[in-house]
Amino acid sequence: MTRVITRPEIESALPRIDLIEAMEQAFVAYSSGKAVIPPVGELLFESPPGDAHIKYGYLLGDDVFVIKVATGFYDNPKLDLPSNSGLVLVFSQKTGQPLSVLLDEGELTNLRTAAAGAVAAKHLARSDSRRVAVLGAGVQARLQAELLGRVIQCRDLTLWARRAEAAANLARDLDQGGWNISIAESPREAVADADIIVTATAAAAPLLHFDDIRPGTHITAMGSDTPDKQELHISIIAGADVVAADSISQCLERGEIHHAVAEGVIRPGQLLELGNIISGQSPGRTSPAQVTVADLTGVAVQDTAIAKAVLRTIGDG
């Protein structure tokens, strides 16, 4: 019988899961050729604006395969509804039978995305980073800051959002987590003194140019998960010393790398994959002055990893 697991059950298991380690292992497995991940399924909506992503795949020799549906409808807060929702389906890789339905309402997608951002900073940012800048003020901006705090020492944070009220609300939330927070009036101002930049918006036009950032900066760009979104001007990808993709094949079709390759400012052969940096197959940052960029478009292997971790933890509990 298929087991239906509710969000409260999922949330009760999450504190017992090392999300950072789970994402590291997932990326390494993917870059090692141990995962089968088809292209993303996608539906885009205009009125109201929104999107639905279908991501699915499996690990070779595993017991299960996973299908995840995640939605983002950006006018939902006007209806007192969350912007993001979704569910995860887990099937037997041996029989094809549905084993579990994780009614996470998008929470697992949010957390695995934030954990991936922390992994990127852990392996690419300078260890002596002193200030973080986060662009955006939604759920993902908050989670990116919270999980980033698990892997870095600095606690100085600058926020920017299109709506000043949203930035102020996020600042109040994050203040309880030990961050020393300031709010900037523009993206350029927000990143002026930043060593780590996280872009967590749904921007359709670049927020930052290469001239806005300092030598030695690491940027995690995770908002551009469709071909039409873009947070970084292609000059940043062109000028960066290290450009890492969660999935090179996927980033050639969406995200910051997609735009830069289309404009001819970078070649696919210049790209590194995050899993190979984690495993040591690729060098990543090699000097403090380098500018590094991680383009995170979200890979189904992450959904498989977090779904399995939740099911394992609930079973153990």
Beta-carbon contacts of 46 under 8 Å, excluding residues fewer than 6 positions away, are none
Q: Copy the structure tokens of residue 296.
A: 């995170």
DSSP E strands, the chain: 3-5, 35-36, 41-46, 49-59, 64-73, 84-92, 98-102, 131-135, 156-160, 180-183, 196-199, 218-221, 242-245, 272-273, 292-295
Cα distance between residue 66 and residue 20, in whole Å: 20
Q: Among residues 1, 2, 60, 15, which one has the least CA distance to residue 314?
A: 15
For residues 175 and 188, what is the distance between their CA atoms, to the nearest angstrom?
A: 23
Catalytic residue chosen out of the listed positions 68, 78, 94, 308: 68
Q: How many residues does the chain have?
A: 317
Locate all alpha helices (DSSP H) within 32-157, ordered by sequence. Answer: 107-124, 139-148
The amino acid at residue 300 is A
- DSSP-derived letter for residue 280 is T
Q: Which residues does 10 contact at the CB level (< 8 Å), separation at least 6?
A: 102, 103, 104, 107, 108, 310, 314
Please say if 68 is a catalytic residue: yes
The set of catalytic residues is 68
